[in-house]
Amino acid sequence: MSDNTRSRSHGGRNGKATDGITRTPHRETQYIHLVRLAWDLHRRGLGAAVELASGLEPVLLVHRPNDALRVMALAREGTWFFTWGRGRDHRVRALANDAAERIWEVAR
């Protein structure tokens, strides 16, 4: 290995990689939930894209004719939810059997 080559290891303690990059398991879990939802919506005929803007929470953009529905994955008291607005009517448990169906209905 030359002096210009650094080996990278992500096996550090406390979520800290040995190369100085801090791992964020919470955001990775958000991403996984959003990708799963995107795939479920894709199977129902809706297009969607996960946006990973620097410094912001990941968001799923569900394509609609005039705009995009913004869906986030958030954890509350150990339970993951998809949210697309404010209030109880704008959220569903991420692992609920009808989660994609509920969001599909809102997005159409």
Q: What is the pLDDT of residues 54-67, one digit of tens each?
A: 989 999 999 999 99
Cβ neighbors of 20 (< 8 A, separation 6 or more) are: none
Domain residues of the chain, as ranges?
A: 24-107
Q: What is the mean pLDDT of residues 20-34?
A: 80
pLDDT tens, residue by residue, 31-50: 999 999 999 999 999 999 99
Check: pTM over 0.85? Answer yes or no.
no
First to last CA, the chain: 54
Q: Of the given ranges (18-22, 76-80, 95-99), which has the lowest mean pLDDT?
A: 18-22
In this prediction, residue 25 carries a pLDDT of 87
Sign of CA dihedral 64, 51, 76, 32: positive
For residue 101, give the 3-state DSSP assignment.
helix
